[in-house]
Each structure stands twice: as C-alpha cells, then as structure tokens.
Structure 1
C-alpha cells in the first residue's frame, strides 16, 4: 500500500520511520511546512517532501495516510483525505470539537473508508495482556480503575489543554477496560502555567456498570508517569505503559476461599497478598498500531479504535472541562 504522513512533529516523525520499515507499506509522501524536517526525514526514510498535503494527495495518490497535525487541523485534513478515497489514521484527539468528529465519522461511512483514531495505549503489549487476564476472570468483579498520566509542560502544544491532549488517552483506556459507558462524573481543573488552557485535571467517573474511575492528569509533574491500576475482588493489576510492565498484587483474603463468589457475598475483606510481575513480550506500540491500521485498510474492516471511540474520548474530555465550570456531578449525554 502507498502510505503518507501529514505532519512531522513529535509523533509524525515516528509514523514516517515506521511506514518506511513495515512490510507492505511504500512511503510515498511526507508533508510539513518545516522543509528542513521533511528533507531530513525523506533522506533517512524515503518518500517525497511536500509543504501542501493537497498537492501530495494529487501527485502521490496514497492508499492510507496518518494525520499528525495540530488538533485544530485534524478535521479539514481528514475530510479532504476521505473525499480523495484514502484511509485515514488521525492522531488523538480526533478533532477539536464533537461536531467536527461526527462529520469525520459520517464522511468515512459515506465513502466506505477506514477512519482510525490514534489511541496508542490499546496496542501496548502490557495492556493487551491485561485485557486477556481480565477476560479470563482473574480479577473477578472490577471495583475501580485509576489512571495517572503526568509529565512536564509540552511547549509545542498550544491549541488544546491537557484534557484533550492527555486525558483522552486515559478516558479511552477506562472505557476499554470497563467495557461500559460513563454514567456521571465530577471534575476539577486548574491553570497554573499561565496559559489559556487547563494543565491539571482531576476527575471522578461512575460507569454504567458501577465501576468507579479516578483520573489524575497534568502537565506540571517534572517526570513522565504513565500508569493505570485496576482493582477488583481478587487484587489489583497495574500497567506501567512506559516500561510495558504488568504487575499484580493479590488479595490474600480472597485466596483463602475456594469459592470467590461466596467470599464476595460474605464480605470476608481484603488483605495484602503476593506480588507478581508478569512476563510481557515487548513491542513498539506504534508499530503494532500502524500494522493493525494497514491490515484494516487492506480488508476494509473495523479498527480496534474506531471514530466513535475517538469521539467518545473527546466528548468526555470536553465534559470534564465543562464540569469544572458548571460544578457538581454531571450526567453524560452520549447522543
């Protein structure tokens, strides 16, 4: 398949590298206004450099593209690519507004092309194994999901706040793990870096299946933290996204009863048990994600992260900011 990348910032340049290396992908175009960047990337990985993606679409006619532009440009670029009959992987957040996201989803359906949103953590091997263990019932009933995504302030991002940029990752992961939609939430945000957008978000979510979600996201921590913990009847799983580690703290009280459901009904309690670190076969999540995207393009099948998934993550992120100004618990409208 002929592939191209539109936008070569922090994420886009990695898409260029991988499209040039993945079997079955022929990198034909690299687009950015930064000509020094595109010239450097094309010299390293191939393809031809462009400053205008419309010119690239017309000359190269790619089958699939990644759009890694600033969020404000996601909508127009995606619509143009879909109109040209091209499959699209757009980095998260899917768009600046919910209405834009809906238009993108509708256009993809109209032209029968794949629209995939770049929520990369679903392709993290530690998350894949976590999902398998949860599906196998190893945790029993889930009580809480606690997400932490923290880092220093990224000066390159000026068009959205931390809710749209970082919280969308964790909101998508919470939905993916809970297998349920959010019923209600309350949140607090703060602006401490003298910007127009929020840089600290704390949120408390209740899912329709009664799982509680705790969201702790910011741009003011002087180190990167990427972690999600899932607590249930039998203990707690924790994923360290950065190191692709999956660990488990068992509930000793649950282990003492052969019938887990009887343990839960009797409320025997919780006690500290064994700590286990599972072996995870590590792979670059972005490579796995792009390979999955290209496979969907070939088969014209539904991706693991659909446009609707991206829409809901964006919707929740924007509602979190709205919660801060409207105060109190807010029921979510998923329409």
Structure 2
C-alpha cells in the first residue's frame, strides 16, 4: 500500500517514521511547507519530499494518507485527498468546526472512502484491556468516569485551545466507555497563559444512561498527567495512558456475598484488594496506523469514525461555550 504524510509537526514525524517501518506500507511522499524538514525526514525514512500536497497526490498517487496539519487546514486537505480517491487518517481534532467535520464525513461516504480520526488513546493496550473487562461485567454498573489530561503549555499549538487539543481525547474516551451520549454539562474555563484560547477546562457531564463524567484538562501543570478512572459497583479501574498501566481497587463489600443486606447498606463501600494487571506494551500510534491500513484494505469501519471525531469536537466546543454560561443542554 502506497502511503504518504501531509504535515510534519510532532505527530506528523511519528507517522512518517511508522509508515516507513510497517509491513506492507510503502512510504512514497512527505509534504510540508518546511522543505528542509521534509528533505531530512525523507533522507531518514524514504519517500519523496514535497511542499505542495496536491503535487504529491498527483505524482505519487498514494492509497492512504495521514493529515497532520494545523486544525484549520484539515477540511481542505481531507476533501482534496478524498476527491483524489485516497483513504484518510486525519489527526484530531477532526476539524475546526462541526460544520467542516460534517462536510468531510459526507464526502467520505459519497466516495466510499475510509475516514479515520486520530484519537490515539483508543489504541492504547491498557484501554483495550479496560474495555474488555468492562464488557465482561467485571465492574458491574458504572457510576463515574474521571478523566485527567494535563501538561505544560505546548508552544507548537496556536490555532486551538486545550479543549479541542486535549479534551477531545478524553471526551471521546468517555463516550467510548459510557457507550452513551451526553445530555447535559456544566463547565468552567480559564485563560491564564495570556493566549486567545482557553488553557484550563473543568467539566461535569451527564450521560443518557446516568453515568457522570468528570473532566479535568489543562496546559498549566508542569508535568504530564494522562489518566482515566472508572468507578462502579465493584470498585474502580484506573488507566495510566503514559505507562500503559491498568489497575483495579476492589470494593471489599462487593466481594462479601455472604453479608446481610443490612450490613451492605451500613458498610457498603470499603477498600478491598488492589490489582495491577499485566498489559502487553505496544506503541499506540503503530497500532492505530496498522488498524487504519487494514480498514483501507477491507473497506471496513474504523475504530474511530468521522462521526466519533465530530462528536468529540462538538462536546469540546460546547464545553468552552458552557464555561461562560455554567450549564448547557446538548
């Protein structure tokens, strides 16, 4: 499969590296306005360097392309690739606006092309195991999903705020875990880094199935935190995305089936066993790209669809709006 990458920022460079290494992928082109950057990457990983992606599409005729441009350029580049008969993996957020995302989704459907959105944490092995355990009923009924995604301010991002850049990851993860849609939310946002966009977001979301989502995202924490905790009847699962760890704190009372109903009511939740599960470590981006290429071959539905990306974007934009109005209905 002939592959190419448009945009060679931090994420784009990793896509280039992996397309050059993944079996059955022939990296044919790398495009960015920074000619020195593309030439350097092609020297390391192969493919031909371009500064105009339309020229690259015309000359190299790739089968599949990653778009890792600044967000405001996603729509046009995606539409051009789809119209050229190319399957697309577009980095998150899918687009600048929901309307742009809708156009991209409609065009992919019209042309019967694959459109996958780069919500990388869906491919994290710890998250994969978490989903398997939740689906097996090990947690029982889910009560809350608490997502924390925090880091220092990234100077490389200037066109969107922390809601679109970081919160979209966690909002997508919440929907994926809850298997439900948001009905209402409260939120607060702040701008403390003297930028035009928000850099702190705190949100509380209510899902249709009564699960509560707690969102804590910012660009002002001097260390990276990437964590989601899911609390339910039988205890709490926690995923550390960075270290690919999955742990479980059991509810001791839930383990004691012989206890009376009175005792369960009076002493219903106590600390039980702590378990750290074995997780086979893998690079999530490699898994994501391999999954994308398989969808291109099979013309199957991606794990993260355009609709998923659009819903995460819509929620992120709504949270920013709610920051000034306290409570919003979806």
Tell me the TM-score normalised to structure 2 length: 0.98
Q: What residue is the counterpart of 1:20 in the other structure?
A: 20
Distance in 1, Cα, partners of 2:239 & 2:168: 17
**For 1:35-86, what per-residue CA distance to the aligned partner results, in whole angstroms no more than 9, with x for missing partners?**
1111111011100000000000000000000000000100000000000010
**For 1:305-335, what per-residue CA distance to the aligned partner results, in whole angstroms no more than 9, with x for missing partners?**
000000000000000001012x232111xxx
Q: What residue is the counterpart of 1:304 in the other structure?
A: 303
Aligned pairs (5 A) from 1:62-211:
62-211=62-211
The offset of 1:265, in angstroms, is 8.9
The offset of 1:268, in angstroms, is 4.9
Determine if contact 1:147/1:228 at 8 Å carries over to the other structure. Answer: yes
Cα 1:119–1:259 change in 2 (3 A) is farther
Question: Which consecutive unaligned segments of at least 5 residues does structure 2 have?
Answer: none
Determine if contact 2:253/2:264 at 8 Å carries over to the other structure. Answer: no
- Kindly report the root-mean-square deviation, in angstroms, between the aligned alpha carbons of the 2 structures: 1.5
Q: What residue is the counterpart of 1:223 in the other structure?
A: 223
Question: Which consecutive unaligned segments of at least 5 residues does structure 1 have?
Answer: none
Cα 1:315–1:279 change in 2 (3 A) is same
Q: What residue is the counterpart of 1:31 in the other structure?
A: 31
Distance in 1, Cα, partners of 2:263 & 2:96: 44
The offset of 1:34, in angstroms, is 1.1
Is 1:283 matched up with 2:262? no
**For 1:192-225, what per-residue CA distance to the aligned partner results, in whole angstroms no more than 9, with x for missing partners?**
0000000000000000000000000000000000
The offset of 1:93, in angstroms, is 0.1
Determine if contact 1:164/1:314 at 8 Å carries over to the other structure. Answer: yes
Distance in 2, Cα, partners of 1:101 & 1:160: 15
**For 1:83-131, what per-residue CA distance to the aligned partner results, in whole angstroms no more than 9, with x for missing partners?**
0010000000000000000000000000000000000000000000000
Q: How many residues align?
A: 330
Cα 1:331–1:45 change in 2 (3 A) is same
Distance in 2, Cα, partners of 1:116 & 1:56: 21
Distance in 2, Cα, partners of 1:299 & 1:222: 43
Cα 1:39–1:274 change in 2 (3 A) is same
**For 1:144-172, what per-residue CA distance to the aligned partner results, in whole angstroms no more than 9, with x for missing partners?**
00000000000010000000000000000
**For 1:280-321, what per-residue CA distance to the aligned partner results, in whole angstroms no more than 9, with x for missing partners?**
000000000000000000011100000000000000000000
Distance in 2, Cα, partners of 1:216 & 1:275: 24
**Runs of 4+ in structure 1 displaced over 2 angstroms?**
262-268
Q: What secondary structure sits across from 1:205 in the alignment? A: strand
Distance in 2, Cα, partners of 1:307 & 1:95: 10
Is 1:318 matched up with 2:317? yes
Cα 1:56–1:145 change in 2 (3 A) is same
Q: What secondary structure sits across from 2:10 in the alignment? A: coil
Q: What secondary structure sits across from 2:65 in the alignment? A: strand
The offset of 1:269, in angstroms, is 1.3
Q: What residue is the counterpart of 1:11 in the other structure?
A: 11
Distance in 1, Cα, partners of 2:321 & 2:250: 38
Single out whichever of 71-80 and 264-273 deviates more from structure 2.
264-273
Distance in 2, Cα, partners of 1:265 & 1:182: 31
Determine if contact 1:83/1:111 at 8 Å carries over to the other structure. Answer: yes
